[in-house]
Amino acid sequence: MSKSDNDLSPAVSIVGLTKDFESMRAVNNINLNIARGLFYGFLGPNGAGKSTTIKMLTGLMSPTAGRIEILGIDFSKNPVEVKRQIGVVPENLALFDRLTASEYLNFVGRMYGLSREQAAKRTTELLEFMELTNNPRKLIVDFSHGMKKKVALAAALIHSPKVLFLDEPFEGVDAIASKTMKDMLQAMISHGATIFLTSHVLDIVEKLCTDISIINRGTIVAQGSIEELRAGVFANSEALAQASGKKLTLEELFIEIVGGRPQRSENLLSWLVE
Amino acid sequence: MEKLTLIFNLQWLLFKNSLRSQTSKIELIGRIIFFIGSAIVDVGIAVVLFIATLSLYNRPNANTGFILLFSAITLYWQMMPLLTASFGGGLSISNFRRYPVSDNDLLLLDLISGATDITSLSIYLPLLGIFIASVILNPFYSPIIIIIFLLFILFNIALSRYLQRVIEKLLAHRRIKEFLVFIAMLFLLSFSIIPILVFRQEIKEKHTKQVSPKEQTIKTLPKFSLKEKLPSSQQVVQVLSWSPPGLVGRSVINLPKESFIKQLLMVFLSILFSGLIILLVKRKINYEFYGSEAKFLLANETTANNSNANISRDFSHIIFDNKLMNLLPLHSVMIFEKEIKYFYRSSKTLLIFITGTMSTVFFPFIFQAQRPTENSSFFAQFMLPGLNFYSLMILGQFFANSFGFDSHGVKTFFLMPTEGKNVLLGKNLAVALITLLQTTFTAILFHYLVYPINSYILLNTIFCSTIALLAYIILGNFLSIFYPQKMDFSTLSDTNYSKMGLLLLALMQGFVFCMLAVAPVLAWYSKLAWITFPVFAIELIVILSLYKISLKYAGKFFEKRVEEFLQTLL
């Protein structure tokens, strides 16, 4: 058992995380503490800084300032050890598309330190679970987008990570596969794993995640359980509080928190309905 | 026309926006230096051809010479893009299919793309040299010469675009691809074998006169003479004279000697040839866009890929289940395995490999007429090491942009729990294996075609190849990290080697050559042949230590440059 398993440090701890690009600050001094065993949703409108944050958390981007700890291990000091503990389905995936799914999963498994036999066994099981066994000789480049997502998820799981980062994992995945994947992720949570999920499909987030944070213009604008967010919104909005007989959906909460619909001229896009 | 303007404007915007990063600015400087260097060479060739044309005016065989010269130019124009796997100048008309652009506009766009291809650009100045000399010699006929020259250029541009499409389509079939590779290999061998068969007698006589009794044991050449069965050179020239290169070749000097009817016929035929090829290109574009060819290509690409996966299954175990692999870091072995799979699944990488081998096979053909004897120069023993050094120059494309084909997969290297140096080591092992294959192939051909390799030559070759390989890998690792260029895996077009990278590689080649030359020069000067071994051994130890140190630093740079890397390659 590694040191990180013994202590009670949070699964993900972020302090003062900041990322500057040439002329703009994409992520501005964010702080987060995600306890172990949570299914955590990380939401935000387009360009809010979600992908930048998840890239920094997984080692695909270096922060301008701030500290990241995963399972109590400092990312900047021991990136290899952190990477050993996490699984990632990044934005636009990260597949060697001229390999077959089986070859790719074997490759990833071995890279995470599994023996050849272990990697082969887990690959077979994952491919069966993801229903990717129909054409074992097919290269990933010929897969549909949904199938590629499944391969990417299988690759993120093959070493049974303690923390899983998923960037839009259900995008393009059919309903049946999506249900199978969700069930599997829930099972992982029940066994103590932590999942950090970003998605624009708020229905899925609402069903899966216990805790949420919302980022807007590089800053965390709300965080807590969905009930806590509801309470926060009600406290800020008298009108909504008056109508509290109706339970707000996550989508309504989200719109309320990130600033709602902007006022636009009535004539805007009028040519489209002429 | 308006749409074409928009497309060119788009290209300009893409170029302008690509200069935002520091790396791109350095790359632009590299391209400018590369362009200036190429232009200087081109101007030199143009001046030589200009003077040669003027001075050959009254020579009896000048006309034949020009017909052959223009045939060679056509061959170069058509073969170079294939050999360098770089047809396009980055402008692919397939990107504009979705917009309402007419067929004629697409055709024009395609021809413009061909006209600005690096091969075409390298030919214009030499052609201009011949053209100006020709106009000076026959000013009265300059309008006809202009027309024939322009039509010759148009013919070659259109033909290269047409061939590109045909070959890309053929390469979508696995079986045809394999067959083409086989044909290409035969073609390579033909450089060496056909001359032996054709000029058997001459070579034999020369050899008998020159060689010592000891060397008489070298395998004797077959008695069969192909030369008598081939058409005479006169007949070949006769046929060529009515082909597009022949027509332009005849127009250089001979135009006033041709009858008016023949002159008209020459212009007419030039128009006909160019027109036919342009029609073929247009037909091909139409089929790709509206016919069944696009579907056909997709279907076959899938089949090819599936079948390729099948090929990979078994023989990889021979290499990677080897106990020797246990001596290396596991991550490096896994990456090595992945690299080898990528190598033989890409038509482009295979072509680079063939190009290198082709170049090395060409030289034994040149050398075979001058087999070294006991009286030959001491340096003749370094022909094979020299050839291998040359073949490594060609393979430089693998060293200098080793992440080019990884696309989104490159993220895997940063997500995995591994260090940058392990990633680079895996990549380097793959390049070393490819080099070993090429070196072995070259050595075998050399042994049979030039002279038998003895242990002295073999050891020196091993030393030279290893030292050169390590030197290239050291620089290549840094170039791959600092000047990565995205490569399109499935097509032959859009080769994007970093020009700055190529320039640095060229400088490195000069340095490595000088370093390798020290041992033979010392041996020749001291008249102690064995002295090459200790000198090479010292150089090898130095370069190995440098490699070890550089790998550590390159690995760190690789980890630190993750953002720039992903930005460029994705």
CB contact under 8 A, A135 and B306: yes
The pTM is what?
A: 0.70
With beta carbons less than 8 A apart as the criterion, state whether A18 and A28 touch. yes
With beta carbons less than 8 A apart as the criterion, state whether B172 and B348 touch. no
Residue closest to B547 by CA, chosen among B436, B462, B469? B469
Chain A CB contacts of B305 under 8 Å are 98, 138-139, 141-142
With beta carbons less than 8 A apart as the criterion, state whether B132 and B86 touch. no
Chain B CB contacts of A61 under 8 Å are 562-563
* Tokens linked to B260: 């008016």
Choose the closest CB to A98 out of B306, B341, B418: B341
Distance CA B271, CA B267 (A): 6
Q: What pLDDT, on the 0 to 100 scale, is given for residue B308?
A: 40
Distance CA A49, CA A129 (A): 33
Other C-beta atoms lying within 10 Å of the C-beta of residue A273: 5
With beta carbons less than 8 A apart as the criterion, state whether B252 and B223 touch. no
Q: What pLDDT, on the 0 to 100 scale, is given for residue A235?
A: 63
Q: What pLDDT, on the 0 to 100 scale, is given for residue A163?
A: 94
* Tokens linked to B566: 């992903």
Q: What pLDDT, on the 0 to 100 scale, is given for residue A243?
A: 60
Site from A76, A93, A98, A137 to mutate, B interface, most B CB atoms within 10 angstroms: A98
With beta carbons less than 8 A apart as the criterion, state whether B62 and B253 touch. yes
Chain B CB contacts of A142 under 8 Å are 301-302, 305-306
Q: B563 in contact with A at a CB cutoff of 8 Å?
A: yes
Choose the closest CB to B489 out of A93, A98, A113: A98
With beta carbons less than 8 A apart as the criterion, state whether B149 and B248 touch. yes
**Helix residue ranges per DSSP H, B241-329:** 244-253, 260-290, 293-320
Q: What pLDDT, on the 0 to 100 scale, is given for residue A3?
A: 47
Q: B309 in contact with A at a CB cutoff of 8 Å?
A: yes
3-state secondary structure B75-97: HHHHHHHHHCCCCCCCCCHHHHC
Strands (DSSP E) contained in B125-175 are none
With beta carbons less than 8 A apart as the criterion, state whether B206 and B367 touch. no
Choose the closest CB to B305 out of A108, A112, A141: A141
Q: How far is CA A152 from the centre of its chain?
A: 13
What Rg value do the Cα atoms of chain B yield, rounded?
26
With beta carbons less than 8 A apart as the criterion, state whether A122 and A114 touch. yes
Choose the closest CB to A60 out of B308, B417, B566: B566
Residue A39 in this model has a pLDDT that exceeds 90? yes
Q: A141 in contact with B at a CB cutoff of 8 Å?
A: yes
Distance CA A106, CA A94 (A): 15
Q: What pLDDT, on the 0 to 100 scale, is given for residue B78?
A: 85
* Tokens linked to A139: 């290269």
CB contact under 8 A, A60 and B412: no
CB contact under 8 A, B334 and A110: yes
- What is this model's ipTM? 0.79
Name the closest residue on chain B to residue A143, using Cα atoms.
B302
CB contact under 8 A, A111 and B417: yes
Quickly tell me which residue has 């320039």 as its tokens: B503
Q: A61 in contact with B at a CB cutoff of 8 Å?
A: yes
Residue closest to A41 by CA, chosen among A242, A207, A160? A207
Pairs of residues, one from chain A and one from chain B, whose beta carbons lie less than 8 Å apart: 101
Window 208-237 of A: residues touching B by CB (8 A cutoff) are: none
Chain B CB contacts of A107 under 8 Å are 334, 337-338
Residue extents of the structural domains in chain B? 36-56+63-180+231-297, 322-569
Q: What pLDDT, on the 0 to 100 scale, is given for residue B503?
A: 79
Q: What pLDDT, on the 0 to 100 scale, is given for residue B218?
A: 43
Choose the closest CB to B408 out of A62, A79, A93: A93
* Tokens linked to B113: 């793309």
Distance CA B372, CA B566 (A): 52
Chain B CB contacts of A93 under 8 Å are 408
Q: A162 in contact with B at a CB cutoff of 8 Å?
A: no
Name the closest residue on chain B to residue A87, using Cα atoms.
B415
Per the document, the length of chain A is: 274
Give the closest-approach CA distance of A230 to chain B in angstroms.
36
CB contact under 8 A, B409 and A92: no
Site from B325, B335, B411 to mutate, A interface, most A CB atoms within 10 angstroms: B411
End-to-end CA distance of chain B: 32
Chain A CB contacts of B560 under 8 Å are 62
Window 82-121 of A: residues touching B by CB (8 A cutoff) are: 82-84, 88, 90, 92-100, 103, 107-108, 110-113
Quick check: helix, strand or coil at residue A201? coil
For residue B40, what are the CA distances in angstroms to A126, B27, B117, B413? 59, 20, 18, 42
| A154-191 per-residue burial string, b: 16 or more CB within 10 A, e: under 16 | bbbbbbebbbbbbbbbbeebeeebbebbbeebeebbee
CB contact under 8 A, B334 and A107: yes
Residue closest to A148 by CA, chosen among B491, B409, B197, B516? B409
Site from A82, A96, A103 to mutate, B interface, most B CB atoms within 10 angstroms: A96
Q: What pLDDT, on the 0 to 100 scale, is given for residue B546?
A: 94
Quickly tell me which residue has 């509290």 as its tokens: A244
- The answer for residues whose C-beta is within 8 angstroms of residue A268's C-beta and 6 or more apart is none
Per the document, the length of chain B is: 570
Give the closest-approach CA distance of A87 to chain B in angstroms.
8
CB contact under 8 A, B409 and A94: yes
Q: Position A151: which residue type?
A: V
**Helix residue ranges per DSSP H, B199-232:** 200-210
Give the closest-approach CA distance of B411 to chain A in angstroms.
5
Q: A189 in contact with B at a CB cutoff of 8 Å?
A: no
With beta carbons less than 8 A apart as the criterion, state whether B423 and B335 touch. yes
DSSP secondary structure, B448-503, as one string: HHT----HHHHHHHHHHHHHHHHHHHHHHHHHHHHS-----SS-S------HHHHH
Distance CA B31, CA A56 (A): 34
A142 burial class (0-12, 13-18, 19+ CB within 10 angstroms)? Answer: buried
Chain B CB contacts of A92 under 8 Å are 408, 570
Residue A97 in this model has a pLDDT that exceeds 60? yes
For residue A130, what are the CA distances in angstroms to A86, A134, B158, B166, B242? 20, 11, 48, 39, 64
Q: A25 in contact with B at a CB cutoff of 8 Å?
A: no
CB contact under 8 A, B417 and A113: yes
Residue closest to A148 by CA, chosen among A86, A97, A197? A97
Higher-confidence residue: B265 or A270? B265
Chain B CB contacts of A138 under 8 Å are 302, 305-306, 309
- The answer for residues whose C-beta is within 8 angstroms of residue A135's C-beta and 6 or more apart is B306
What are the per-10-residue average pLDDT scores of chain B (570 residues)?
A: 73 72 75 84 91 82 85 86 51 66 81 85 91 88 90 93 79 61 60 54 54 47 50 74 88 81 88 92 77 43 40 50 70 88 72 66 58 60 79 73 82 88 92 86 77 84 90 89 73 58 80 88 87 92 94 91 79
With beta carbons less than 8 A apart as the criterion, state whether B36 and B503 touch. no
3-state secondary structure B379-395: HHHHHHHHHHHHHHHHH
Chain B CB contacts of A84 under 8 Å are 417
- Report phi then psi at A18, rounded to 5: -140, 140
Distance CA B565, CA A56 (A): 15
Distance CA A39, CA B326 (A): 40
3-state secondary structure B436-456: HHHHHHHHHHHHHHCCCCCHH
Domain A3-258 has CATH 3.60.20.10: no
Distance CA B520, CA B378 (A): 8
**Four-CA torsion B208, B214, B219, B221, nearest 10 degrees:** 0
Choose the closest CB to B570 out of A92, A97, A113: A92
Residue closest to A109 by CA, chosen among A99, A139, A72? A99
Residue A143 in this model has a pLDDT that exceeds 80? yes
Distance CA A124, CA B236 (A): 62
Q: What is the largest CA-CA distance in chain B?
A: 78
Distance CA A253, CA A250 (A): 5
Give the closest-approach CA distance of A256 to chain B in angstroms.
34
Chain B CB contacts of A103 under 8 Å are 309, 312, 338, 341
Residue A183 in this model has a pLDDT that exceeds 80? yes
